[in-house]
Amino acid sequence: MQEYRVLLIEQNRIMMERLSSVVKNTKGFQLVSRYQDPREALGQGGVFVPNLILLDIDILENIQFVREFVRAFPQAGILCLSDQWNAQAASTVVKAGAKGYLIKPFTSEELIAAVDTFGKSGMGMLSEIMTFFSPKGKSGKTTLIANLAMALAKKSGQNVAIIDADLQFGDMAVFFNLDPQSTIVEAVRDINFLSPITLNSYFMPITDKVRVLCGTKRPEFAESVSPQAFTDMLSMARSLFRYILIDVPPAFNPISVAAAEASNSVYIVSMISGGFEVKHTKRALDIFKSWSDYEKKVKTIFTRVEPCNHESQRRIENQLEYPISCIVPNEYLLVSAAANNGRMAVDIKPESPLAQSIDLLASRICGRQHKVG
Amino acid sequence: MDEEIRNGILITVFSTASAVGKTLLSINMAAELAKTGYKVCVVDLDLQFGDVCNYLHISPQKTIYDAQMAIQKNINEFVATDYTTVYQCKELEFSVVAAPLNLEEAYNISTQAVSAFISSLRNTYDYIVLDTTAAFSDLNLAVMDLSTIITFVGIVDFIPTIKNMKVGYDTMRSIGYEKNKIRFVLNRSNSKTHIELQDVEQLLEESFYHVLPNNFSTAIESIHKGIPLVVDSERTTLGRSMQDLVAKYTNRLQETSKPDASLSSWVKKLFK
């Protein structure tokens, strides 16, 4: 097990004592040196060969030292400390090269969770949010999201989150057979008191890389989720996951609109079932036309396309007068059996046509060089 | 007859899952009620993506949005029937209140105006059928409050859907709706599924009021023709089953539907 050699910079004496004692009492962590002034740390800290720097940024000018610490201690990871979460500051320090952001005072558990979470990939400022919207519901999008999240994690090797924002009738917990202790309701309620590390614990783990923030347990709880707090939660989640997939309820409502606005891409998902799906998709597309970059941001997916081939895709594209990014074949029995058993994570075999078409979409998403911020 | 003040029966067609057949059921209930001689109106409350006009192939001149504008302007001068579109097929006719033409309008519909509109429709029609969306929205809750009957449509396809039906039913009970106000209708009963109807009834602690057979191709054909099943395809099992359902709502016993059942109950009474 790797030993963390900690260099602590904290201006406030009492806080410094408090944090020092937490570091010393955490297994696997050793406090090698501590300073009140970052300039002293830059000058003298090197002799102690730290590999983890905890830098207080409540003293605002300390933010500008992040870059110098990166240069002076290239082998060390830098975590910035603050007494409250500030998305703007977090984004600034991460761009300057810090690995993450930790709320102080922290506990041993939080310190360990922070190095575990940020150690792997760093705080993900390269995060990409995707919202999956279906005009009328029954589009196969929950299945699509569940499988796409798995595929993205496998291809990118990075953390992926699913957020079930279908507040009244979200099915993600059933799909993965979860009995969540915390849901989107609690995460959004608590958001003002959370930091990325504590928010992470509201997401239920599915695999090593994929986590789910489940929907409400009862429809009446949905009312307590305000769009503003929901957006705040999304911006914090950005620092934890490379990809965030949001499942929103059918039709436009304040939450689906907030999710779409916070997203890098919006996917309109519809199932071919002999009705007016194409017409509804067109109508939904119209709403996004007010976005200047809507042709880049808004994409369409059709499920249960039979036969699932280029001809079908072209035929629907002609009706729709808009490109389709992905078509998914009908695998009703396979999907319903997997959903019934809560085995979405394991039952859909990679060689099935369904998995293969979703895999193709995942490759395209991973291949996209996406710049954020 | 027209002078008589009516107090129309309000039937909300609701579900907790999408694509269970609410719209198809709504228009067929309306058509069958109209055939029986009642004055009927269907209101499309899937404001954003409503299909009632699509399924009937009609192009409305006025929508619910126009009605809202008129109500907000001056409710005393408001005439509800000015905002309906008549659907006609053979001798049968009923009225339709169309969903707004565009999404911005749909997004700005007020629950209050819709409630006022529906109350006003009650003075003209014997039956008003409300086609809704699968959500406990402000609007849906308001119209369910007003309704005589809530027809809760379900399909037994896979576990998440059934979970949501149960959660939805519990919610409706917890907000005070009487059991006999809610009628479960199961659609597509014999479709591909591994779940038994009895298991669902046990979970809901309720039995299905009516069960509609699976007849996907007939349903799709009716949608493409723009003609309700009960008009055009009386001979199909689905069309007949829809008629039976409506007969239960109007307390009109169909002579041909279940002669054995009526006989046995008569026999039972005799030997009591």
A260-310 per-position pLDDT tens digit: 999 999 999 999 988 899 999 999 999 999 898 999 999 999 999 999 999
Share of chain A above pLDDT 70, in %: 96
Tally: H helices and E strands in chain B: 12, 8
- Residue-level pLDDT at B109: 96
Question: Is A173 within a domain?
Answer: yes
- Residue-level pLDDT at A221: 87
User: What 3-state DSSP class applies to A244?
Assistant: strand
Q: Which residues does A346 contact at the CB level (< 8 Å), separation at least 6?
A: none
Which one of A77, A95, A121 terminates a domain? A121
Quick one: pLDDT band at residue A372, thresholds 50, 70, 90?
very low
Question: Is A56 within a domain?
Answer: yes
Q: Which residues does B214 contact at the CB level (< 8 Å), separation at least 6?
A: B187, B188, B189, B190, B191
- Cα A187 to the chain's mean position, in Å? 13
Share of chain B above pLDDT 90, in %: 73
Going by C-alpha positions, the residue among B4, B8, B2 that lies closest to residue B120 is: B8
Rounded CA separation B185/A272 (Å): 25
Mean pLDDT of B117-138: 96
**Number of domains chain A contains:** 2
Question: With left for phi above 0 and alpha for psi between -120 and 50, is residue B256 left, alpha or beta?
Answer: alpha
- Residue-level pLDDT at A239: 80
- Residue-level pLDDT at B259: 41
Which one has a higher pLDDT value, B156 or B72?
Answer: B72
Q: How many CB pairs under 8 A join A and B?
A: 94
- Residue-level pLDDT at B258: 42
Q: Which domain holds residue A173?
A: 128-367
Question: Is A208 within a domain?
Answer: yes
- Residue-level pLDDT at A231: 93
Mean pLDDT of A111-118: 84
Rounded CA separation A99/A122 (Å): 5
B-interface mutation test, from A133, A143, A168, A216, most B Cβ less than 10 A away: A168
The alpha-carbon gap from B126 to the nearest alpha carbon of chain A, in Å, equals 30
Regarding whether A162 and A95 lie in a shared domain, the answer is: no
Rounded CA separation B236/B222 (Å): 11
Question: Is A373 within a domain?
Answer: no
pLDDT by residue (tens digit) across A243-264?
A: 999 999 998 999 999 999 999 9
Regarding whether A190 and A93 lie in a shared domain, the answer is: no
Over 60: is that where the pLDDT of B257 sits? no
Partner residue facing A174 (CB), from B103, B133, B163: B163
Regarding whether A317 and A213 lie in a shared domain, the answer is: yes
pLDDT by residue (tens digit) across A297-345?
A: 999 999 999 999 999 999 999 999 999 999 999 988 888 888 888 887 7
* Structural domain boundaries in chain B: 9-270
- Residue-level pLDDT at B264: 43
Mean pLDDT of A4-27: 95
Share of chain B above pLDDT 70, in %: 88
Instruction: Verify whether the Cβ–Cβ distance A136 to B167 is below 8 Å.
Output: no
- Whether A60 and chain B come into contact, CB under 8 Å, resolves to no
Partner residue facing A283 (CB), from B49, B168, B223: B49
List the Cα angle A188/A194/A196 in 5-degree steps. Answer: 100
- Whether A276 and chain B come into contact, CB under 8 Å, resolves to yes
- Whether B134 and chain A come into contact, CB under 8 Å, resolves to yes
Mean pLDDT of B63-75: 97
- Residue-level pLDDT at A370: 46
Mean pLDDT of B90-119: 95
- Residue-level pLDDT at A100: 86
Which one of A88, A121, A154 terminates a domain? A121
HEC-encoded secondary structure of A336-368: HHHHHCCCHHHHCCCCCHHHHHHHHHHHHHHHC
Q: Which residues does B199 contact at the CB level (< 8 Å), separation at least 6?
A: none
Q: Taking a contact as any Cβ pair under 8 Å apart, which residues of chain B between 144 and 173 contact chain A?
A: 157-160, 163-164, 167-168, 170-171
Which one of A94, A121, A148 terminates a domain? A121
Partner residue facing B220 (CB), from A135, A251, A274: A274
Quick one: pLDDT band at residue B167, thresholds 50, 70, 90?
very high
Instruction: Verify whether the Cβ–Cβ distance A136 to B19 is below 8 Å.
Output: yes
- Whether A94 and chain B come into contact, CB under 8 Å, resolves to no
Which one has a higher pLDDT value, B52 or B192?
Answer: B52
- Whether A290 and chain B come into contact, CB under 8 Å, resolves to no
B-interface mutation test, from A139, A142, A169, A341, most B Cβ less than 10 A away: A169
State whether ipTM is beyond 0.90: no
Mean pLDDT of B19-47: 95
Instruction: Verify whether the Cβ–Cβ distance A219 to B157 is below 8 Å.
Output: no
Domain B9-270 is found in CATH 3.90.120.10: no
Mean pLDDT of A151-164: 93
- Whether A340 and chain B come into contact, CB under 8 Å, resolves to yes
Over 90: is that where the pLDDT of A238 sits? no
H-type alpha helices, A25-156: 38-44, 66-72, 87-96, 108-121, 141-156
What is the overall mean pLDDT for chain B?
A: 88
DSSP state, residue A2: P
Here the CATH number for the domain that contains residue A66 is: 3.40.50.2300
- Name which of A116-125, A252-261, A289-298, B23-32 the model is least confident about: A116-125
Do you find a cis peptide bond into A307, omega within 30 degrees of 0? yes
- Residue-level pLDDT at A333: 80
Quick one: pLDDT band at residue A89, thresholds 50, 70, 90?
confident
Question: With left for phi above 0 and alpha for psi between -120 and 50, is residue A122 left, alpha or beta?
Answer: left
Give the chain B residue whose CA is nearest to the CA of A171: B160
Instruction: Verify whether the Cβ–Cβ distance B164 to A171 is below 8 Å.
Output: yes
- Whether B19 and chain A come into contact, CB under 8 Å, resolves to yes
- Residue-level pLDDT at B233: 63
Q: What are phi and psi of B46, to 5 degrees?
A: -85, 85
Regarding whether A204 and A86 lie in a shared domain, the answer is: no
- Hey, CA dihedral for A98, A99, A103, A106, is it positive or negative? negative
Going by C-alpha positions, the residue among B96, B271, B187, B22 that lies closest to residue A137 is: B22
Helix H or strand E encompassing A231: helix A227-237
Partner residue facing A138 (CB), from B19, B168, B224: B19
pLDDT by residue (tens digit) across A48-79?
A: 989 999 999 998 899 999 999 999 998 888 99
Rounded CA separation B245/B247 (Å): 5
Rounded CA separation A215/A323 (Å): 31
CB A34, CB A82: distance < 8 Å: no
Over 90: is that where the pLDDT of B249 sits? no
Partner residue facing B49 (CB), from A168, A251, A340: A251
- Whether A333 and chain B come into contact, CB under 8 Å, resolves to yes
Here the CATH number for the domain that contains residue A171 is: 3.40.50.300
Regarding whether A351 and A240 lie in a shared domain, the answer is: yes
Mean pLDDT of B152-177: 91
